[in-house]
Structure 1
């Protein structure tokens, strides 16, 4: 598939941090929401992973809400900590100019090497934030 040059399945050590796990899941073909959800909760529930699929490309490729952020909100809710979603938004905004996939991706051609590298970076960073929030 053009543009998916680095998305090959690879083993991620079990003791890897949430960001590294999310990056590995993204590299393996999961979208940003799926990668954050799985990396931070350890879920293997197919229905949850399939539900996260809808957040690809900023909700059905609309470019709206960043899928990594949506996956993080799903993880917090699944862990019984939905009130931390607001804090996730605050922390995300501290490191990024927007929460909108379209804005975060604007400098890059869609599905280009640079675009996917940017999404992978945001996915890993978001997983680290969510992991920290879940541990608080």
Structure 2
């Protein structure tokens, strides 16, 4: 599978989880990337992302998809107790932040969704698109880094 096909498939999987109501933004990203990495973490890792949707527990702060994305990057670049910080963790996280901010002009959920009624299908579609963008961005970076060989 070439890179574009792979990235498009990852985007579609993450978006599908959210669209079908199986997961919210952060959960969909974590689940998708864990699966793409051949499950280095138990299925229950998705639970760790459950507090981030709608800008951290509906507070409207940092976009849940971005939070889930940073968690997903930690699956690869995170550390265990006693280990030094991997040099790529911070720049990869910052690059994700900057990528989404470049597209949506913010990383704050309430700002990114301010033009939509919360319960509207338009807001949900907007958030599904952001979720897919985060998952796709991470998949592309991991593909380029040769972490994923598809």
TM-score scaled by structure 2?
Answer: 0.75
* Contact 2:51/2:57 (8 A) holds in 1: yes
Question: Is the counterpart of residue 97 in structure 1 residue 105 in structure 2?
Answer: yes
When structure 1 is superposed on structure 2, of 56-65 and 90-99 the one drifting more is 90-99
Matches within 5 A, 1:1-136: 17-29=9-21, 30-42=23-35, 43=39, 45-80=42-77, 82-83=89-90, 84-135=92-143, 136=145
* Contact 2:60/2:110 (8 A) holds in 1: yes
5+ residue gaps, structure 1: 1-13
* Contact 1:18/1:39 (8 A) holds in 2: yes
Residue 15 of structure 1 deviates from its aligned partner by 9.7
The separation in 1 between residues aligned to 2:33 and 2:52, in whole angstroms, is 17
Q: SS of 1:79's equivalent? A: helix
Q: CA RMSD in A?
A: 1.9
Aligned length: 123
When structure 1 is superposed on structure 2, of 35-44 and 100-109 the one drifting more is 35-44
5+ residue gaps, structure 2: 1-5, 78-87, 146-150
When structure 1 is superposed on structure 2, of 55-64 and 16-25 the one drifting more is 16-25
Q: SS of 1:89's equivalent? A: helix
TM-score scaled by structure 1?
Answer: 0.82
